[in-house]
Amino acid sequence: MSRASRQAMLADIRNACTPRRGGAGTAAVEARLAARAPGPVPARARIAREGQIALFIAEAERVQASVARVKHVRDVPGAVAGYLARHNIEPRLKCAPDPFLRSIPWAQHPVLSVAEGKGEGDDPVGVTGAFAAVAETGTLVLVSGAASPTTLALVPPVHVAVVPTGRLLGTYEESWAALRARSPRPGKEFVMPRSVNWITGPSRTADIEQTLLLGAHGPQRLFIVLVDEENA
C-alpha cells in the first residue's frame, strides 16, 4: 500500500511543483539546507551579557516561573531547600544522572533526600540541568540523553532546573548552533537527540472558560536556579 501510495503522491506533487520552479529543484533544496540561514532575529536578545541574564529572568517570571540567582554551586542546595520549604513541597529530589548535578553538594542540606533516574510515579520534584537557556523568551532548552531523561521535567508536579549562567544564550538560533557544535564524536555528522524540549514556564491550560490555570499535565511549578560560578 505505502509504496504505491508513495509513488502516486510524489508524482502528483512533482507535477504541481515542476512548472513553478522549472527543473528538478534538488540544487535549491541542498543549498537551502546547507545554508541554515536564520530569519529575522529579535533585537531584544542581542544585547550585552548582564542584560541577557536580566532579560531571561524577566521573561521567565512573566510566564510564572520562579528564578533564583546564586554565586556558587555550593549555594544551590540552600536555594532549592528554601524554595521547597516556602511552598510546602516534600524535599525529595529525583535528579538527572548528570555530572554537573552530581557536583552539587546536596548533602549539606540534610533535609533534602536525593535519588537519580527518570521522572515517574509519585516523585514530587524533578531536578534537571539544561543544555541552554534562551533569554529571548525565558526558555529552557532540554536535550534528551542518557544523562537527561525527558520525563523529569514533565511527570513530577515540581520541576527544578539548575543552569549555569554560562549556558545562557540570546536566541533560539544560538541554541541550535550550540547543539550542532556538540558532535557526538569528532568528525561525526550532527545527529539530533531524540527530543529537544523548550520549556517556557510551568504547564498551563485555559480550556475551561478561558480561565488560566497552572499545572495541567506537566509541572505546576518551575523553579530555575542560575549559577554564576565559572566552570559550573
Partner 1 sequence: MESTSGRFENNARAALSDPTLQTALAKLADGFPARRLEAAGRMPEFEALRDAATEIKEHVLDHLDVYLETFERQVVANGGEIHWCRDAEEARQAILEICRAAGARTVTKSKTMIGEEIAINEHLERHGIRPVETDLGEYIIQLRREPPSHLIAPAIHLSLAQVAETFRASHKELPRERALNEPDALLAEARAKLRPDFLAADVGITGANMLIAETGGNVLVTNEGNADLTHTLPRVHIVIASIEKIVPTLEDASVIVRVLARSATGQDVTVYTSFCSGPRRPGDLDGPDEYHVILLDNGRAKLLGGEFRDMLRCIRCGACLNHCPVYRAVGGHAYGWVYSGPMGAVLMPALIGMHEARHLPNASTLCGRCESVCPMRIPLPRMLRAWRERLHRAGRGSLFARLGLSAWASVASRPGLYHAIMAPLIRALGNLAGPGRRFRRLPFLGAWTSARDFPAPEGETFMSLWAEAERKRKPYADLRARSARP
Q: Which of residues 64-93 bind partner 1 (CB under 8 A)?
A: none
Question: Grid cell 516534600 — which residue?
Answer: 90
- Among the candidate windows 72-80, 85-93, 104-112, 146-154, which touches partner 1 by CB under 8 A? 146-154
Is 204:222 a contact under the CB 8 Å cutoff?
Answer: no
- Residue 51, interface with partner 1 (CB under 8 A)? no
- Residue 115, interface with partner 1 (CB under 8 A)? no
Cell numbers placing 108: 549539606
Give the total residue count for the chain. 232
- Residue 17, interface with partner 1 (CB under 8 A)? yes
Beta partners for residue 152, in sequence order: none
Interface mask (CB under 8 A) for partner 1, residues 31-50, using x and -? -xx--xxxxxxxxx------
Q: Which of residues 192-231 bind partner 1 (CB under 8 A)?
A: 192-211, 213, 215-219
Beta partners for residue 117, in sequence order: none
Which residue lies nearer to partner 1 by CB, 3 or 71? 3
**Of 91, 87, 98, 85, residue with least CA distance to 124:** 91
Is 191:128 a contact under the CB 8 Å cutoff?
Answer: no
Which residue lies nearer to partner 1 by CB, 166 or 215? 215
- Residue 182, interface with partner 1 (CB under 8 A)? no
